Amino acid sequence: MDSNLQTKNEYELKKKEKEEIAGTEARKKMIRKLLRWLLLLIVIGLLAWPIYGYFTKTATKQADLGEFFSAQSRDHIDIGASHPAYNSNPPTGGWHYASPTQTGIYDKEFSDEQLIHNLEHSHVWIAYKPDLATDQIEALADIAKSYGSKIIMTKRAANDTKIAIVAWEHLLKMDALDEARIRDFIKAYRGTAGPEKIQDSGFKDFRQK
């Protein structure tokens, strides 16, 4: 074989080997780069998931706790005095009478203006329509009794749902009793929601037996 041809073949062979090695290294480099990006995405996902879960859970929890209504006023008014319309039904804050109602369970209604003072004291008001089924009324009463203070339960014909659970600036409505949601609401706002954290005394079932 011609020496020049042999040298040329050897050169081409080595060149091909180098190109194959370079190609293999390039592929390995690309795979390593992809693996690093994949690992980074996994790490970001692992870090982001708890944060996403926290905010999702918080948003869901807030939804479960009903609606927020900014208190329109904390002014005392004379009994029977006029005032602007409340921004929720039942009201969650605003113009109210100077004296709250004794906490407990009642089978009668009180004026919204009087009970708003209870809300200002960080009490929770359980308001139900008079035609609510007896078993649900008793279930609400059992919930109220299980806390024993800072709870007032009354009829309220003006409700636009069968049951309304009310705290200062917070309102949870339902047409069928959901004990878990009611207890979550009470746990969240009883003794904390109102601007005045005033302890009550004498809670009892005042209904006529």
pLDDT digits 0-9 by tens, 168-179: 999 999 999 999
Element (H, E) at 118: helix 112-120
Name every residue whose Cβ is closer than 8 Å to that of residue 88 and which is 6 or more positions away in sequence.
67, 69, 171
Number of structural domains, the chain?
2
Which domain covers residue 129, as residue numbers? Answer: 67-189
pTM of the model: 0.72
182 and 91 within one domain? yes
Q: How far is CA 72 from the centre of its chain?
A: 22
pLDDT for position 58: 46
143 and 50 within one domain? no
Dihedral of alpha carbons 73, 92, 190, 102, sign: positive
Q: Is 207 part of any domain?
A: no
pLDDT for position 111: 98
- Residues 42-95 have pLDDT tens digits of 878 777 666 644 444 444 455 589 999 999 999 999 999 999 999 999 999 999
- What is the Cα–Cα distance from 42 to 178, expressed in whole angstroms? 40
Domain final residue, candidates 64, 91, 110: 64
Q: Is 200 part of any domain?
A: no
Mean of per-residue pLDDT scores for the chain: 88
75 and 56 within one domain? no
